Amino acid sequence: MTLSSVSKKVLVIYREADKVVPYRDALVAAGIDPVLQGANVSLSLDGFEGLVLTGGPDVDPELYGETRHPETDEPDGERDALEASLLKEALARDLPILAICRGLQILNVCQGGTLIQHLQASQRHQWTGGRRDQPVHEVSIEKGTLLAEIAGKDRMQVNSRHHQAARTVGGNLRVSAVDANDGTVEALEHPGKRFVLAVQWHPEDQALHDAGQLKIFQRFGAALA
């Protein structure tokens, strides 16, 4: 039986082809059929059972009513608009969403939230060399959340590559994990939907050797039609 025959085809949005490979491999390892699509065309979710949003440049702060901080990336308006449109469609159709790093940030902004444009203690949250699959810090998981159900514990070692984070949490979202040391938001979810989970770290880099991180993709796969 092929992956496509079990109806687990998901749309994966990316900008840089070399950086999407770990996402593809983690999804395949979880029994999911990823369709990789660059953020340069008009798309819909027709024919897909879920949506995956990947890491990338900072979300345009104009979308949440702020001017650009000196440390904030040049905006990628094309990608922001595409992902906002797909998120709106996925939420309206209650399709499962897995959002990673930038994905968490665009989800939060699209739900009316705001971002910290540059973390003062950003070194704690940034990969500084070596293997990308190695943990950088620990997160504390909130009880009674989807993430807690997936992890089966209240702490998790994660890698990290970000200098921005959620500030004001968007409507209908709840915080499901924070940095165990400084309280930075590390995961959001939408409890009113079938499966909407956003994590600030990069489980795709850890999933092939860390069963706990692979569970995130497996649980996403289980939620697909």
Question: pLDDT tens, 67-102?
Answer: 999 999 999 999 999 999 999 999 999 999 999 999
List pLDDT tens digits, range 183-204. Answer: 999 999 999 999 999 999 999 9
**Domain parsing of the chain, residue ranges:** 4-223
Contacts 24+ apart (CB under 8 A), 76-85: 76/15, 76/39, 78/39, 78/40, 79/13, 79/15, 79/39, 80/106, 82/13, 82/39, 82/42, 82/43, 83/13, 83/39, 83/53, 83/110, 84/110, 85/43
pLDDT at 176 over 90: yes
Which position has the higher pLDDT, 4 or 112? 112
pLDDT of residue 107: 98
CATH 3.40.50.11740 applies to domain 4-223: no
Out of 49, 83, 101, 186, pick the active-site residue: 101
The structure tokens listed for 138 are 């620990």
Is residue 209 part of the annotated active site? The answer reads no
In the block, residue with structure tokens 């514990």? 153
List pLDDT tens digits, range 98-149. Answer: 999 999 999 999 999 999 999 876 556 665 556 667 778 899 999 999 999 9
Give the model's confidence band at 160: pLDDT under 50 very low, under 70 low, under 90 confident, else very high: confident
C-alpha closest to that of 59 among 92, 102, 20, 93:
102
pLDDT of residue 161: 79
Which position has the higher pLDDT, 142 or 4? 142
pLDDT of residue 135: 74
pTM to 2 decimal places: 0.94
* Percent of the chain's residues with pLDDT above 90: 84
Is residue 125 part of the annotated active site? The answer reads no
Is residue 110 part of the annotated active site? The answer reads no
